[in-house]
Structure 1
Amino acid sequence: MLAQLLGAVHDPSIGRPRARHGWFTEATFSGGSRFGGATFEGSTEFGGATFTGDAQFNAASFTGGALFREATFCSGIWLRRAEFDKVSHLGPLVCGTQMMLDSAVFQQPVTVEIAAAKLSCVRTMWASTAVLHLRYAELDLRDAVLEFPVTIAARADPFPNARTGGSLIETVLSGRVPRVRLVSVGGADAAHLALQDIDLSVCQLAGAVHLDQLKVDGWCTFAKSPSGWSRRKTLAEESHWRVPAARRPARARGWTVHPEEAPKLQPAAVAVLYRQLRKSLEDGKDEPDAAHVYYGECEMRRYDETRPWGERKLLAAYWALSGYGLRATRALVLLAAAMLITIVFLKGFSLPKDTPKQVAAGTVPAGGGKVTFEIDKPTPRIPPGKGSPPSASRRL
């Protein structure tokens, strides 16, 4: 059926349908569509097509161009283990649920433009440079292979529709916030990864390689500590650690519950993540966020039971006195309190009530013994009737 639809010829030696060209411009596919294992040797055009059900392209091979411009997938699109040999532009397209690019291979430099609820790139191989412009998506980059720089940026405005001259319709995504959230980069090499305007509040960084070389640009947001704590930006791993480690429910209130699939890290491992991310932010000249990350690093070191007892107590004192040198209000309040206590003690116990007088002591010759007397210098006063002292001009 697929071979008849594409005008393809079946290759017995391969056992999979092959097509030189496929043109499905503005076509409508009702129900599920199955293109699994197909080989598209020429240009494949799905421009303006609408898929009402799941679209299966698992293990498909696109040796030519694969054009999904202005395509709409009301459900999901599956491109697992797909091979894109000469694809330079994928999208813009709209996917109502999830787009699966797990284990897909991109051989050439590519620009991807996708508006989808979820985008899975687990073990996806980027053999060349890539730029991903995303909307709405929860992106999963676990174990992705990044051989060249890959930039992931959130797009604020809808993608343009070249056919109508307006914007791409995103009705299937109505009601969702068009923010892009990175879920995980575990197992990926972050040295070639650049993020711009990405939500990192739930991102799992554990397992990432060269995290200190991650490039974080634009308005990338992190999770925040609960109200009642010292407000700061935190990593998901710290939130996951605090919930099971809490001895009282009040301590865990406001922290994210540890997901089952997330690794349970100890404070020493979380401190390493904070330290690597701090270097990345400092290299990007983002000193304010680097200060938040440094606070989290010190917190994990304070709770790390593998460190010496004296170091942890010193960190506890550093936290109490000045918030690791990052809480100016706390330091100023303690300084004012110390000054007030010092003044009270000086007034009550140290400062004399009367001005001490000068004492002179000496020995009288010829056996007279020692003599001690006070030197009292009276305050200069104007003799009665003398008037005011002469002015400087009169003295001159």
Structure 2
Amino acid sequence: MMTEEFTRLQDRKGRASLKWQRYEQQDVIPMWVADMDLPAPQAVREALGKAVELGALGYGEVPPRLVDAFLNWCQQQYGWQPMPEELVWLPGVVPGFNLAVEALTKADDQILVQTPVYPPIRVLGKLRQRAQQDLPLKPPSEGESQWSLQVEQLAAALEDKTSALVLCNPQNPTGRCYSPEELKELARLAAAKKLLVISDEIWADLLLKPEARHLPYPAVSNEAAQHSITLMAPSKTFNVAGLSCAVAIIPNPELREPFRKAMRGLMPDMNYMGILAAEAAWTKGAAWLQDLKQHLNNNLDLLEAWLQNPDHPRRQLIGYCRPEATFVAWLDVSRLELENPWQAFLDAGVALSPGEAFGDDHYLRLNFGCPAAQLEAALERMHQVIG
């Protein structure tokens, strides 16, 4: 049964929220950065409340029970379990893939990124001073329902100096959850070309398509495990992104040890509250997650009904594929023929993420991780732009 808390509007103004503070002085509904306007699980809030009541908020260290909680979660959710020694704990997924490029590629190497992709991956080469090869995902053709990884075309376009591929699975912003067949094909290519695969799997637990199941990249094959670094976190799933807790799974010690060495002096200590939140989420959050997925699917139904309303045919000009995962929708607004779509919707009082930041300015990204009433209010304002 869906929790009633998902229906309550949250007042996040004046609370140092990145999502809300940017537009705090404007009449704007923020539907952009990927955190949810929904409360974290009760078990997480109780764990944090006890720590605050105790009052000692010092340095944190990963306890064995957090390792056990994560390993058990992997077994329950994916039917796969890494070895404890393969885990490297981090303050976040984004620091993790930046560190992987810094530690495991050379200055004259090139990294491969598939676009559209969320901004921290999109600008990874520039930040780490590596050449970057951008290859587009294939958008759905007529009769298709999803974006495609296109491994064959990727193989044909792969340049000799490319030494690492950054994978985003489930994919942000398209919401695609790659199939086992696609991942196996990709792993064979990576093994043949001796590519390091850096797999960002921060959305692994937010699969909205009922029959979808996440396959972690190192679970594809032993070869895949040996040439990869996989990054996971409870942050998107349980809405605890501000608590900075993540984990890298690195089965190959020849990758793991340089990665650990590069962390020294650069990575901050693990967030004490993040450790407690992650343990509570992975131990007691499964039922809450099922309720969340139901709520997000209901919001998608609401969005689709709005887009397909026959009384408002211009809405149907917006291109859209129902995401298989995540709580963001990737909207093709090119046929609306607006001079600046992002600004037009902002002027109407809705802040979306501009597609340009993801590598395609024909699109906008909408965050539907919120109460239905908030989504409805945003869509009502967006109607003013579309007509």
Instruction: Compute the TM-score of the two structures, normalised by the length of structure 1.
Output: 0.20
Larger C-alpha radius of gyration, 1 or 2?
1
| Larger relative helix fraction | 2
| Larger relative strand fraction | 1
